Amino acid sequence: MPALNIVLAWRTVRKHWVIALVTAVAVFLLVAFYTLGQKKIYQATATIQFDPNPPRPLGRGVDTVVEMGTGSYWNNREYYETQYKIIQSMRVALAVVRDLNLHNDSAFLENLPPGKPGPSKAVSPEEAAEVLRERLTVDPVKESRLAIVRFTDADSQRAQRVLSVLVNTYVEQNLDDVLTSTDSAVEWLRTQLDKLKGDLESSEMALHDYKIDKNILSVAIDDQSNMLREEMKQLNEALTATRAKREEVRARRDELAKMKASEPADLPSSELLQSHTLQGLRERHDEVVREYKALLGEGKGARHPDVRAAEERVTAAKAALMAEVKNIRGALERDVDVVSRQEAGLAALFERAQKQAFELNLLEIEYNRLRRSKDNNEKLYALVLERTKEADLTRMMRVSNIRVPDPPLAQKKPVRPRVPMNLAAGLLAGVGLGVAAALGRAMLDRTLKTPDDVEQELGLPFLGLLPEISPEERQAGKRAERRGGRPRRGARGGAGSRELIVHEQPFSGAAEAARAVRTNLLFMAPDNPYRVLLITSAGPSEGKTTVVCCIATAMAQAEQRVVMVDCDLRRPRLHRVFGKSTNVGVTTALLEGKLPDEELMRTEVPNLWVLPAGPLPPNPAELFHSERFKVLLEQLTARYDRVIIDSPPIVAVTDAAILSTLAEGTVLVTRAFKTQRELARHGVRSLLDVGGKAAGVVLNAVDLDRDEYRYYHYYSYKKEGFYGQDDPRADAPADERPGDSAAAS
């Protein structure tokens, strides 16, 4: 389908090649004249480089006061976009305008080429700056840190001069902005430096006064705290030891208090180990007790002097032992008192040290606050002092992150107009518009042109086409009539008329086309051929009468008795074609109830008769509704083999619609390149709405030289006869011409 559409489009363009060519040439010439008439515009270009990492003479550890492009990818991108807008800003443009006095330069304001100064003109600097900005563009170079700055002007030297000043102004303003910001930062830093210096001195004096007030030596608070902590540790250890000793002494005392006088031998071993005296008394007591028991064991009685002496020694040893125990108990009581007093003293010392520790904590808090304030002020002062020195050095070095690798250059060739490109575009546009104009012309043409149009638009069988009579065929008809010596009197067409071309030139293309239509009509109903055939059209002047004459002549040449009935009672024409009188015809036959004399109806074409319209009635439609007209048709069908009726247009009046109900078949005539598709469809609907039978459509007045009919050139004999041979009767006398039956197909 796409290939077919291209072929159809190509055919359409070939058909309307004049429109396409004129349109293409007109568009090309308009573009050429417009291009050549345009003012030549030159362009100056410069390259600017933005360095996100500007030089750092003070080292990478020193940050700049003003951000100059460093940062992340998105920060850099925003920086670039900002710089592009600054280059095109009003501030830069105003500086350039004032520097070059462009607001008083009429040639710049009017964009005139050199040598063509305009009238003196002056505008405000702001207006001149707007003119400059309109001619200025900034295009970033992809995947780079470069930007191309372009300025256009009718004068290449002026463009270069303006762009050079603009680039320099932008670079200087960028550096001035950095320095101005740096100066502001330095001034602010100096103000803060003086303030921080005063704060630092105040904090130092406050710390000193606090030391004097609290009697704090230059030794650090931490050292004092450590000393006090060590003292408290020692006191705590001594207090603990004293308390342990107290408990020990108290325990010894209690143990000795438990000993009974009757059992002096029950002394704690610990006491014996600690006191040699008590140990000796214990041993003496044990010794005398053994001696006493030994004497009793020898059998001596209690009154024996040795026994009594031993008993006295036991009593003395016991008394001495108990006395020593009592002395030890008294000593332990005193030791308990001493240790208790010692414990109380150590506890008091520990409490006093603990109180001093709490007081030292409070002193340390305030001291640390004062010292922290002093340290912070000292750090801020050092930082601001260092930053101030760096800013001063940066300001003196005047470092910029913008460079101009390529200074402004002016192109020798103009950038506008681009003559080759414009001409090529004009040619392409002209060809495109020409093709569009040809296709549009074809789309706007709503007429029926080809047999395919007839079948697709009307939905009826295509019976054939009748070609347009060529000048050669007309001349051949005139020569044939002069040779035959039988001019038709009263005929308006004269020799070589289209209506009788089938008879006068039976070997012509038109005659062969008429016989083709006749053959198609016969094959439409071979068993019951049409005897009453109506020929009509949708609109006037489409060649109904011509088609009637051609079809009737072709049928007469086939040895059939054919009568043509002119039922166009509004604008009849058959009587003019055959030179008949209008006194006798259809209307008189209806009034008289019988057909006219056959001799009055005979024509010069063998086997062909014609019944003219006769006098025109005021009510043609009512006549066709009458029974008399039906009787007339019956009389005609009884006398002749074929009855062919010529009628008015079916859309204009109702005559043809009424006649279609009485005819066995109706042929709709359309004129190539004239009959509108909508009108033809209306005619078909009018025919079918009343119940008429449509036999088919004949396409009339076809110019076979057109491209639309290249596939219908089987009528190749339209100018030269059958298969390129000349008509064998062209030069023969009229009485020696072959019979018409020989021309039958």
With 70 as the cut, is the pLDDT of residue 162 above it? yes
> In the prediction, which pLDDT does 261 show?
59
Q: Is the model more confident about 20 or about 567? A: 567
> In the prediction, which pLDDT does 566 show?
95
> In the prediction, which pLDDT does 633 show?
93
> In the prediction, which pLDDT does 99 show?
93
Which residues are within 8 A (CB) of 642 and not within 5 positions of it... i.e. 6 or more apart?
530, 531, 533, 552, 555, 560, 561, 562, 563
> In the prediction, which pLDDT does 641 show?
94
In angstroms, rounded to a whole number, what is the distance separating the alpha carbons of residues 32 and 426?
Answer: 7
Instruction: Locate the domains of the chain by residue range.
Output: 2-187+400-410, 221-397, 451-727
> In the prediction, which pLDDT does 577 show?
92
pLDDT in tens, 131-141: 999 999 999 99
> In the prediction, which pLDDT does 548 show?
94
Segment of 91-105, 276-290, 692-706 carrying the highest mean pLDDT: 91-105
> In the prediction, which pLDDT does 396 show?
62
Q: Is the model more confident about 692 or about 524? A: 692
Lowest mean pLDDT among 265-279, 452-466, 547-561: 265-279
With 80 as the cut, is the pLDDT of residue 413 above it? yes
Q: What percent of the chain has pLDDT over 70?
A: 81
pLDDT tier at 604, thresholds 50, 70, 90: very high
pLDDT tier at 545, thresholds 50, 70, 90: very high
Specify whether domain 451-727 bears CATH 3.40.50.2000.
no
Mean pLDDT of all residues in the chain? 80
Region 555-584: mean pLDDT is 93
* 487 and 495 Cβ atoms separated by less than 8 Å: yes
> In the prediction, which pLDDT does 470 show?
65
- pTM of the model as a whole: 0.51
With 70 as the cut, is the pLDDT of residue 155 above it? yes
Integer CA distances (angstroms), 303 to 96, 273, 312, 316, in order: 153, 38, 12, 18
pLDDT in tens, 208-256: 777 777 666 655 566 677 777 888 888 888 888 888 888 877 777 777 7
pLDDT tier at 628, thresholds 50, 70, 90: very high
In angstroms, rounded to a whole number, what is the distance separating the alpha carbons of residues 609 and 300?
Answer: 212
- Looking at 105-191, which runs of residues are DSSP E strands? 136-140, 146-153
Which residues are within 8 A (CB) of 440 and not within 5 positions of it... i.e. 6 or more apart?
none
